[in-house]
């Protein structure tokens, strides 16, 4: 069992299946809020539903209005259970804060460790991410 | 981040849901920027007003915030332009369902308490606090102007973070609020004069410089090589273009810092120009991205005199500046030349440009060129105001 250090940006616990994108995500015009998936065909997770999963991607790009898209995902019940970034920016931080989605980033450059992980546990108290599978 | 007892209570929801959400946003931003406290601000400027940008998503959220009992903005708050002329919304075929949703967004903001003008140049219409004052301004062009020209301190806020600051009267003490961060991180050396034989002048040149600098420097930009002309027209064009292409929130003219330096020569100028300007001429003219200032309306009226536009011309400004321009007689000259004023709206994020039903637009704005092409799919012809008037009036 491998563990990674995490930093909580929006507190919360989560456990479950992860969906991993090595590429950044643009929420405005890059995410389908009805389906709950990335709508950019160039994305490695194009069209794969992320609702109820732990969404892992390096960082966010694009318009600051993206925060409202994250909020909409939550209202549509299509939001990820939690988000893990390499580096979190103001768009994702403010979006997850208003939507109440637990959000974490990684103090060490370790996101690629998650590329083949299937299930993880996020523990805010210990600031740890445990790779279970 | 260390919170006061009152801030802790607000975060725990003791003062209602809207403040709880606002503090949650500030705390999250505090964590990513390793800030240790919140500081009071004197002015919040909130973006995310046009229905074309925030859509149903934003409207849902604003409804929730503004319907929390007793919720009001705690500091002086201005908001960005919206997507239409509010008092004259059927101008140029704004669709009725768009107008309906736009009015709903506006009524949410009005309930929370905003100044009565929808503008991306808020410093034109309201008294600017003294240098060194912390504010929280979204709208990148205004934030860059605030830091670089007005000496105010602000980070480049997002629609949601500026809203949180308006609700709480506070912002996160980080980045450009801290004096020692307000120095250049990279220099741009302007080498136009020697190579091309002329110095940069006018809004198109300054826009091109800003567009290049914003793309190449993510932090504070230092300019060298030419004494910059920072009168309002040039400064506004420079700041708006810096905000368009990157994440920089400030520039310093005449940088003395010894740093990594990027040259801006005739080649860089031509590269940006040919990227932004794809057409020799445009079927319609758009002025006012960012919105026209009173100085620019005076200049426009002076250049026009008795002339008359030979094609459709839209002039974007705030209602407050429009009223001033009417009192002073500039608006009558501009309208007499056949131009249409669009008040309180954004030239880029309005359905009006698409409704013009043209394939190309002439403008003097690099920011406008960037967004109008992206949002409305029109080709752009980038020219200075003088030349646009010379070629398109009789």
Of A69, A71, A90, which has the smallest distance from its Cβ to B29's Cβ? A90
The residues on A that touch B, with CB distances below 8 Å, are: 7-10, 33, 63-65, 67-69, 71-72, 75, 88-91, 93-98, 103, 105
pLDDT surpassing 70 at residue A36: yes
Question: Can you tell me whether residue B118 is helix, strand or coil?
Answer: strand
Rg over CA atoms, chain B: 21
Whether B353 shows a pLDDT value over 90: the answer reads no
Together in a domain, B106 and B127: yes
Q: How many CB atoms lie within 10 A of CB A16?
A: 16
Residue after which a domain boundary falls, among B177, B201, B219: B177
Q: In chain A, which residues have their Cβ closer than 8 Å to the Cβ of B161?
A: 90, 94
My answer on whether B159 and B30 are in the same domain is: yes
Distances from the Cα of B325 to the Cα of A78, B81, B151, B330, angstroms: 49, 18, 27, 5
The answer to whether the Cβ–Cβ distance between A68 and B57 falls below 8 Å is: yes
Which residue among B32, B55, B61 sits closest to A98, beta carbon to beta carbon? B61
Q: State the pLDDT confidence band at B109, using cuts at 50, 70 and 90.
A: very high
Query: Which chain A residues touch B25 with a CB distance below 8 Å?
Result: 93-94, 97-98
Clarify whether residues B26 and B95 are in a common domain: yes
Determine whether B265 is exposed, middle or buried from the number of CB atoms within 10 Å of its CB (0-12, 13-18, 19+).
middle
- The pLDDT tens digits of the residues spanning B112-135 come to 999 988 999 999 999 999 999 999
Q: Are B23 and B171 members of one domain?
A: yes
Average pLDDT over residues B139-150: 96
Check if the beta carbon of residue A122 is closer than 8 Å to that of residue A103: no
* Closest chain B CA to residue A93: B28
Taking the domains of chain A in order of start, what are their residue ranges?
2-131
**Among the listed residues B107, B171, B103, the one whose alpha carbon sits nearest the alpha carbon of residue B137:** B171
Contacts of A89 in chain B (CB under 8 A): 32
Contact B204, B364 (CB under 8 A): yes
CB–CB contact B164 A94 (8 Å): yes
Query: In this structure, are residues A26 and A116 in contact, taking their beta carbons and an 8 Å threshold?
Result: no
Residues with Cβ < 8 Å from B90, sequence gap 6 or more?
B99
The DSSP call for residue B69 is T
Tell me the C-alpha distance between A16 and B294, whole Å. Answer: 58
Residues A54 and A40: their CA atoms lie apart, in Å, by 19
* Nearest to B184, CA basis, from B260, B269, B263: B260
- In the stretch 7-46 of chain B, residues with CB closer than 8 A to chain A read 21, 24-25, 27-29, 31-32
- The answer to whether residue B296 scores a pLDDT higher than 80 is yes
> Do B282 and B253 form a contact (C-beta atoms < 8 A)?
no
Residue B172, pLDDT score: 98
Residue B86 CA neighbour count, 13 Å, CB half = 21
Would you call B160 and A95 a contact, using CB atoms and an 8 Å cutoff?
A: yes
- Cβ-contact A121, A104 below 8 angstroms: no
Domain interval for residue B49: 5-177
- B303 and B251, same structural domain? no
Residue B352: the pLDDT is 83
CB B348 within 8 A of CB B371: yes
Which entry of A37, A43, A63, A127 is annotated as an active-site residue? A63
B313 and B222 assigned to the same domain: no
C-beta atoms of A97 and B58 within 8 A: no
Which residues in chain A have their CB less than 8 angstroms from residue B56's CB? 72
Average pLDDT over chain B reads: 94
Instruction: Evaluate if residue B157 carries a pLDDT over 90.
Output: yes
pLDDT of residue B349: 86
Q: Which residues of B touch A8 (CB under 8 A)?
A: 31
* Strand-pair category, A128-131 with A25-26: unpaired
pLDDT at residue number B375: 86
- Say what the pLDDT of residue B143 is: 97
Q: What three-state secondary structure class fits B365?
A: coil
What pLDDT is stored for residue B195 in this prediction? 61
Examine the domain organization and report whether B69 and B204 are in the same domain. no
Q: Are residues B351 and B256 in the same domain?
A: no
Residue A99 contacts residue A78 (beta carbons within 8 Å):
no
User: Could you tell me the CATH number of the domain that includes residue B372?
Assistant: 3.30.499.10
Percent of chain A with pLDDT over 70: 100
- B116 and B80 share a domain? yes
Phi, psi for residue A131 in degrees, rounded to 5: -85, 115
Beta strand A103-105 pairing with A82-85: parallel
B44 and B101 share a domain? yes
Q: Report the interhelical angle of B159-168 vs B51-66 (nearest 10°).
A: 30
Q: What is the mean pLDDT of residues B49-73?
A: 92
Which pLDDT does position B194 carry in this prediction?
66
Confidence of residue A10 (pLDDT cuts 50, 70, 90): very high
Answer whether residue B146 shows pLDDT above 70. Answer: yes
Which of A10, A33, A65 is closest, CB to CB, to B28?
Answer: A10
Residues B248 and B143 in one domain: no
- The complex's ipTM works out to 0.92
Of residues B189 and B353, the one with the higher pLDDT is: B189
The answer to whether A94 contacts B160, with C-beta atoms less than 8 Å apart, is yes
Three-state secondary-structure class, residue B353:
helix
Q: Are residues B104 and B193 in the same domain?
A: no
Of A33, A65, A96, the CB nearest to B54: A65
Residue B192: predicted pLDDT: 83
Of the candidates A65, A75, A89, which has its C-beta nearest B48's C-beta? A65
Q: Note the maximum CA span of chain B.
A: 67
| B19: closest chain A residue by CA | A98
**Residue A116 known to be catalytic:** no
Residues A63-94 pLDDT 10s: 778 899 999 999 999 999 999 999 999 889 99
Q: Which of A56, A49, A48 is nearest to A78 (CA)?
A: A49
CATH code, domain carrying B30: 3.30.499
> Counting Cβ atoms within 10 Å, is residue B216 exposed (0-12), middle (13-18) or buried (19+)?
middle
How would you label B78-116 residue by residue, b for 16+ Cβ within 10 Å and e otherwise?
bbbbbbbbbeebebbebeeebbebbbebbebbebbebbe
Q: What does CATH list as the number for A2-131?
A: 3.50.30.10
Number of domains forming the structure of chain B: 3
């Amino acid at each position: 069992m491998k563990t990674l250090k995490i930093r909580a940006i929006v507190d919360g616990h989560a456990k479950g299946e992860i969906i991993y994108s090595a590429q950044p995500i643009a929420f405005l015009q890059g995410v389908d809020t009805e389906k709950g998936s990335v709508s950019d065909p160039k994305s490695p997770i194009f069209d794969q539903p992320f609702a109820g999963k732990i969404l892992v991607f390096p960082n966010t790009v694009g318009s600051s209005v993206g925060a409202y898209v994250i909020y909409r995902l939550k209202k549509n019940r299509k939001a990820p259970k939690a988000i893990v970034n390499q580096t979190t920016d103001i768009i994702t931080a403010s979006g997850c804060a208003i939507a109440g989605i637990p959000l974490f980033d990684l103090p060490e450059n370790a996101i690629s460790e998650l590329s083949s992980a299937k299930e993880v546990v996020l523990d805010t108290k210990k600031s740890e991410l445990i790779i279970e599978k | 981040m260390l919170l006061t007892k009152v801030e802790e209570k607000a975060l725990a929801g003791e003062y209602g849901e809207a403040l709880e959400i606002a503090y949650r946003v500030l705390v999250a931003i505090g964590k990513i920027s390793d800030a240790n406290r919140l500081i009071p601000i004197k002015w919040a400027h909130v973006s995310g007003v046009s229905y074309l940008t925030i859509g149903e998503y934003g409207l849902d959220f604003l409804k929730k915030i503004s319907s929390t009992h007793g919720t009001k903005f705690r500091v002086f708050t201005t908001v960005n332009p919206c997507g239409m002329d509010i008092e004259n919304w059927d101008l140029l075929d704004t669709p009725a369902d768009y107008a309906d949703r736009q009015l709903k967004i506006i009524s949410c903001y009005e309930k929370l308490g905003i100044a009565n003008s929808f503008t991306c140049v808020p410093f034109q219409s309201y008294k600017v606090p003294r240098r060194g004052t912390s504010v929280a301004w979204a709208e990148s062009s205004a934030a860059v102007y605030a830091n670089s020209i007005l000496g105010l301190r602000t980070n480049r806020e997002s629609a949601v973070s500026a809203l949180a600051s308006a609700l709480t009267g506070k912002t996160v003490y980080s980045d450009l609020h801290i004096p020692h961060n307000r120095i250049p991180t990279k220099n741009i050396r302007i080498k136009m004069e020697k190579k091309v034989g002329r110095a940069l002048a006018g809004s198109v040149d300054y826009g091109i410089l800003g567009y290049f600098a914003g793309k190449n420097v993510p932090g504070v930009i230092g300019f060298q090589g030419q004494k910059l002309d920072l009168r309002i027209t040039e400064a506004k064009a420079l700041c708006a273009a810096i905000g368009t292409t990157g994440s920089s929130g400030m520039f310093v003219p005449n940088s003395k810092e010894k740093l990594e330096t990027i040259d801006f020569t005739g080649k860089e100028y031509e590269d940006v120009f040919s990227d932004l300007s794809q057409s020799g001429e445009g079927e319609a003219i758009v002025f006012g991205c960012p919105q026209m200032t009173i100085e620019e309306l005076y200049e426009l009226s002076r250049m026009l005199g008795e002339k008359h536009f030979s094609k459709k011309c839209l002039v974007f400004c705030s209602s407050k500046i429009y009223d001033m321009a009417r009192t002073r007689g500039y608006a009558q000259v501009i309208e007499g030349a056949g131009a249409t004023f669009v008040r309180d709206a954004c030239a880029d994020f309005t359905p009006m440009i698409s409704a013009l039903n043209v394939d190309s637009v002439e403008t003097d704005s690099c920011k406008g060129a960037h967004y109008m092409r992206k949002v409305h799919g029109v080709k752009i012809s980038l020219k200075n105001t003088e030349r646009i008037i010379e070629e398109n009036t009789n």
